[in-house]
Amino acid sequence: MATAKAHTNIALVKYWGKKDQELIIPQTDSLSLTLDEFYTTTTVDFDQELASDQVMINGQQLGGPAARKVTRLLDIVRQRSDLTARARVDSHNHVPTAAGLASSASAFAALAGAASQAAGLQLDRRGLSRLARRGSGSATRSVYGGLVEWQAGNDDQTSYAVPIMEEVDFGIEMIAILIDTRQKKISSRFGMQQSVATSPYYRLWPEVVAHDMVAVKKAIAARDVDQIGAIAEENALRMHALTLSAAPGFTYFDSDTLKAMAIVRELRANGINCYFTMDAGPNVKVIYDRVNREAVYSSLADQLGADRLVVAKPGPGIKIWND
Ligand code: ADP
Ligand code: DP6
Ligand code: CO
């Protein structure tokens, strides 16, 4: 029996599309910031007595496709460790589930960590990153803290994350604006598949990302939060253009998403530098340097309500222990 705690991450240069659905090999590299405030804790216990895997999230029994995704990851672990026992999985999300706040990232990193440890597999962090990837692409990056790059690679061996700066030594932070924390209607998995298959703009996306990856790494090396934020904001808008331009078109934005984006632009026009990014959900994350925290926070709180804001700083990599 083992437990792992993994934090979520928010991409500054997004992963949006797979080359291989089965192995979860992405079309492009991506780069993210792991956050301290949002995480998943998962305990895995293999037990000969069980007839099937039992999966609980936040005290609720999981069934259907969500439970099957967990079993698929456990099957990989069982195969590698010659185990046949089914598992009891008890997971707690300290992040809204399936709302565009990257619950699948922390969830599958934690599951990979706990399951491999409970099965006695001795995986190094690269091995863990590759295993987490099989559950959800964004989970590849949640093995590491701080700023993390997922190198797309082209097969199971070569697609994994590498830490860019685990201990972030400059002032980048994010405020998550919780606009709607209910479960999204279109999963990230389905949404990106639709974009790849039907958006006429998708063929430009790999070029956009290749350019942004070079630029964002340069900006990180220079510890230039404004440059990082500007690249992230533009990259996010271009990702969301791939949903609007799919057939049928769709969007993860709602009216308050647009409102939050307008507030960020207005703050910037008034000399308070901050930038937005959105994932597959309506919730907005605002990127800024900690010297601007009070100004950004108070303005967002005035216009949207302090109860909807979470201040997040760079978070740590995965922790795993035996119970
Ligand atoms: P998000 O934006 O939250 O990452 P996704 O659509 O990518 O949304 O993934 C949400 C899915 O991830 C859930 O529907 C569920 O299948 C899976 N998931 C989330 N949390 C957990 C957990 N703690 N354990 C197992 N699976 C989870
Ligand atoms: C917009 O990793 O949730 O958050 O691999 O199908 O599980 P699957 O999708 P997921 O997609 C994340 C998309 C994103 C961008 C990102 O995190 O890079
Ligand atoms: Co996800």
Cα–Cα distance, 16 to 5 (Å, whole number): 25
pTM, to two decimals: 0.98
Ligand 3 centroid distance, CA of 224 (Å)? 27
What is the number of the ligand closest to the CA of 91?
Answer: 1
Query: How confident is the model over 18-38, as a mean pLDDT?
Result: 98
Verify whether ligand 2 is closer than 6 Å to residue 25 (CB atom): no
Give 105 Cα–ligand 1 centroid separation in angstroms: 8
**What's the CATH architecture for 172-312?**
2-Layer Sandwich (3.30)
The residues spanned by each domain of the chain are 2-168, 172-312
The model's confidence at residue 190, banded by pLDDT at 50, 70 and 90, is: very high
CA–CA separation, 202 vs 216, rounded Å? 21
In the reported structure, the alpha carbon of residue 257 is separated from the centroid of ligand 3 by a whole-number distance in angstroms of 18
Distance (Å, whole) CA 202 – CA 208: 10
Given the candidates 3.40.50.1260, 3.30.70.141, 3.30.230.10, 3.10.150.10, the CATH classification of the domain at 2-168 is: 3.30.230.10
What spatial distance separates the first Cα and last Cα of the chain, rounded to whole Å?
6
So what's the pLDDT on residue 56? 98
CA pair distance 298, 136, nearest whole angstrom: 35
Output phi, psi for 94, to 5 deg: -95, 50
ipTM of the complex: 0.99
Per-residue model confidence as pLDDT tens digits over 265-322 = 999 999 999 999 999 999 999 999 999 999 999 999 999 999 999 999 999 999 999 9
Place 170 in a pLDDT band, splitting at 50, 70 and 90: very high
Over the chain, what is the mean pLDDT? 98
Ligand 2 atom closest to Cα of residue 32: 18
Mutate to test the pocket of ligand 1, among 104, 239, 277, 318 (most ligand atoms within 8 A of CB): 104
Helix (H, G, I), strand (E, B) or coil at 258: helix
Long-range own/partner contacts, residues 293-296 (CB < 8 A, 24 or more apart): 293/173, 295/267, 296/175, 296/267, 296/272
